[in-house]
Amino acid sequence: MKYIKIFLYVMVINIAQSQIASGKFNNSVTTWDGSQRAYVNFDGLRTLWFNTGSLCNIACQNCYIKSSPQNNSLIYLSQDDVNEFLHKLCNDGHDTKEIGFTGGEPFMNPEIIPMTQSCFQEGY
């Protein structure tokens, strides 16, 4: 889980740095040409997506995360990781309706069945 957070943090920082360097995201209210930015008010966490890992049995050219049989940059998510988030959803009072799994290929993760069972047990 730590590696996923670090990977996402580094990815966000890299994107943000390149966008700031291009002058596109210097202002959170207006765009580079002075137009008002679009926004969506946060009104709940209806769907929680779990990324099960970046490995995939194939390697599509347009893959958003460059998954492949060799890309293990995101280590496999574990059932313990999922349980931690499920408990947090419950304790924080989110009205989450749906859990999604993505990757990589979720069924390459050896804990995909226990992870889905945890979700079912929590009523998802």
Q: Give the interface with ligand SF4 as residue ranges (CB under 6 A).
A: 56, 58-60, 63, 67, 103-105
Nearer to ligand SF4, 21 or 58 (CB): 58
Min dist. Cβ of residue 78 to ligand SF4 (A): 19
CB of 122 within 8 A of CB of 82?
Answer: no
Q: Compute the C-alpha angle 36/39/43, nearest 5°.
A: 150
User: Over 24-47, what HEC string results?
Assistant: CCCCCCECCCCCECCCCCCCCCCE
Nearer to ligand SF4, 28 or 62 (CB): 62
Min dist. Cβ of residue 19 to ligand SF4 (A): 24
Min dist. Cβ of residue 3 to ligand SF4 (A): 18
